[in-house]
Amino acid sequence: MATTNVQVARPEPSISYRWVILFFVSMTMFGNYYLYDSIAPVADLLKSQLGFDDQNIGRLYSMYSYAALSLLLFGGIIIDKIGTKKAVMLFGSLCTIAGVLTAVSADVHVMYVGRFLLGFGAESLIAAVTTALAKWFKGKEIGFAFGINLTIARLGSLGTDWSPWLAKPLYSNWHSPLWLAAVIGAFCTFGAIVYWVLEARAEKKYVIGQAGTTDKLVWRDLLAFDRSFWFITGLCLTFYAAVFPFRSFAIKFFQEAYNMPRDSAGKLNSFLPTAAMIATPIFGLIIDKVGKRALFMAIGSLIIVPAYLLMMPSLHITPYVSMSLIGVAFSLIPAVMWPSVAYIVDEKRLGTAYALMALIQQAGVAAIDEGVGWLNKHYGASASNPAGYNGMLYLVSALGFLGLFFSFMLWQTEKGPHAHGLEVVKPKS
């Protein structure tokens, strides 16, 4: 008698299962973001207790970007080879080890190694988590899932900025806050372990999506990009190179130039990630309704131009005004910029486009971290010489002007015959 093999179709995972996956994979991002920002609240302690100067502190951030640059040149190869479970585990563990290495020694060179390792692990982890979310949510609630993931990640930055208030007793020395960061950095590994277990179980019981490939640089694709892409890339470079290096020194700057207590300076610095968590989705919804994407990027660039100059200590203007302006720009520009790339680049070249933008962004952030550190050291920025921070403020303001130029040129292009439809509500795909 003939027999037939009947394959029973496996069900898709439940909604609740997907959201549990989202929570634990986002925990890795929370630890990742906390570790990145953990130097800023102890910058003055590293200076007073270990003899570091601002150039050392700037390099602690630029080492992260150097590692990210080396990774982006090989974009996604490791993740595609070993799969998302192993990639999240590998890179999450590297982040945890990096946090310990940064906290364990007072030697600046050991800290440099820790921060370099963090840059390699963290940027790879971001790519792996992005790939994992696409695998679990593509065709379902992917936009909302990415938004929740980013919100949880930014809570890590928020936690770092608020740690001088929430963990105030630890800030009598440089060592304890960095050990706190190392402990929180263990979430990178813990979240990865739980994600591995959940996905391994799901592979036996459910049908889950394919991860797809990660963004990679394909050098021959660069010749296909037109001026609108390069204008957006210029804005990306100048915008992030102004904001992130400033945040690296902001707490120390507010302490020394405005005589703020450490906890108050941290809370003020936290305004940027807080504003982004709340306002970025709102701006995204507005732009989806009205279009005018290039115009909104120009408006965001215009807002940021005076913000840094208004923080000159000699003007005696409360920094809350400037941080409010930067907060609006920090929410508005990313909400428009990243989605706009999908409208001006062919889908088959999107991976190259995003990888190239990330590469140029990291190069700019590294250079400006180094530059700000050098300027602060050269001009003797300190509590006794607040004017020494003027060089930093002039530098990031100059980047703001360049960003305004790139966004204005994009706006002009998008009003002309070579427009991609960024100014209309629904551009043609």
Give one DSSP letter per residue of 334-393, joined into a string.
HHHHHHHHHHHS-GGGHHHHHHHHHHHHHHHHHHHHHHHHHHHHHTT-BTTBGGGGHHHH
Q: What is the pLDDT of residue 352?
A: 74
**What residues contact 48, with CB distance under 8 A and at least 6 apart?**
none
**pLDDT tens for the 429 residues of the chain, in order:** 444 444 456 777 778 888 899 999 999 999 999 999 999 999 999 999 999 999 999 999 999 999 988 776 665 677 777 888 888 999 999 999 999 999 999 999 999 999 999 998 998 888 888 878 877 876 666 667 877 888 899 999 999 999 999 999 999 999 999 999 999 999 999 999 999 999 888 888 876 666 555 556 566 666 778 899 999 999 999 999 999 999 999 999 999 999 999 999 999 999 999 988 888 888 888 888 888 888 999 999 999 989 999 999 999 999 999 999 999 999 899 888 888 887 888 777 776 788 788 889 999 999 999 999 999 999 999 999 999 999 999 999 999 999 999 999 999 998 888 777 788 876 665
CATH second-level architecture of 217-429? Up-down Bundle (1.20)
Please, what sign has the CA dihedral across residues 373, 377, 383, 385? negative
Closest residue by Cα to residue 114 from 170, 39, 173, 192: 39
Phi and psi at 420, nearest 5°, equal: -105, 0
Q: What is the pLDDT of residue 270?
A: 93
Residue with tokens 């131009």: 305
Please, what sign has the CA dihedral across residues 28, 30, 36, 42? negative
Instruction: Write the single-letter amino acid at 105.
Output: S
| CATH 1.20.1250.20 intervals, the chain | 11-214, 217-429
Residue with tokens 């070579």: 418
Closest residue by Cα to residue 124 from 55, 175, 73, 178: 73
Question: 11-214 in CATH: which number?
Answer: 1.20.1250.20
Q: What is the pLDDT of residue 1?
A: 45
Q: What is the pLDDT of residue 6?
A: 43
d(CA 156, CA 265): 17
Instruction: State how far the alpha carbon of 157 is from the alpha carbons of 104, 133, 151, 163, 410, in Å.
Output: 22, 21, 10, 10, 31
Q: What is the pLDDT of residue 211?
A: 56
